[in-house]
Amino acid sequence: MGFFVDLLSRLAFLYAGVLAGYVVAQIPFFGANIRRHFYAFVIWVVAPALIIGSLLTIKTNASVSDYTFPILASIATTISGYVAIRLLCSTMETPHARKSALESLSAFPNSLNFPFPVILAFAGTDGLIPATLFLLGQLILRNTLGVWTNAPRQKEGINSKEIVRKILLFPPVFSVGIGFMLWLFLGPQSLNENQTYVLVQKVLIFTMVMTIGFDLDLGLLRQVTSGPILKVIISRFGAGFVVGLGILFLPLPSYVRVALFIQAVAPPAVANQVYAEYFDLDTKVTSTGIVVLTFIALLILPLELFVLLEFV
């Protein structure tokens, strides 16, 4: 009985954050400008604070595999997504704008806003270390392989130095370096059992979860059975579950397996919309896919976590 109470209490906290974000987004004054500033606050303040805090709780006995497998899992997640959607669309004549949009939705999961709060709730701060490395792998892939596949062959101006600069200056990335320096200076596990940090962490998690609710549109659920969105659902979650189940059988600490599984089966990254607009892809199918798959991910999350808590 205690197992189900624990599961429901953690889920209730997460869903409350999503609901709060959805309600706030319906308020008339919550326009695009405020939304943009809220997202910036999450990227520049909330995510770095969570990452740095998690680094200050790690022990000194982490193995090399704890750091290499998250990157490998990130690569496997992206490649499997590409393969799955290309197989599903192999018999269709699809324009580049739509084909590349579908590939991005399938290959690049939400590695930050959606999974980080879930990982913290179910794997603790230890889980943020592999999760951050998975995120780093996604940033590199999104800005290399993703840019190459998104760009129409006639489009020029893709600057490799600019890509590297954007990766290094992405706040969750450089916060890893800050966190490690503080870890060396303050010592391992310097934040363990710190009640103030625990309270602040819960507030930060709730703030991050709210962003999931901003773009939920229940009216878009009728798009679930449409051809392109259905293919994305099958490829993103199908390929993700294959990679995730493979991760569960690896000889890794449980918090690593939990973190990587959650990220592998996450819905498409919100950043896909930004890339779709920049490269003139199908922005309608991109935005619809993000919203619909995020809603589905919220529905199947209890089943996901039941499996993880029961068998990991």
Separation between Cα atoms, residue 103 and residue 78, nearest integer Å: 10
3-class state of residue 109 by DSSP: strand
Separation between Cα atoms, residue 252 and residue 1, nearest integer Å: 28
CA dihedral 140, 146, 152, 156 (to 10 degrees): -10
Average pLDDT over residues 134-146: 88
Separation between Cα atoms, residue 172 and residue 43, nearest integer Å: 7
What confidence score (pLDDT) does residue 154 get? 47
CA dihedral 154, 157, 162, 167 (to 10 degrees): -20
Which amino acid belongs to residue 99? Answer: K
Separation between Cα atoms, residue 300 and residue 192, nearest integer Å: 32
Instruction: Give helix 115-123 / helix 195-214 axis angle, nearest 10°.
Output: 140
Which amino acid belongs to residue 49? Answer: A
Tell whether the torsion through CA atoms of 310, 114, 142 and 136 is positive or negative: negative
Q: What does the DSSP 8-state code read for residue 92? A: S
Q: pTM for this one?
A: 0.83
CB atoms under 10 Å from CB of 59, counted, come to 9
- pLDDT of 40-94, one tens digit each? 898 888 888 888 887 777 665 566 666 789 999 999 999 999 999 999 988 777 7
What confidence score (pLDDT) does residue 191 get? 67
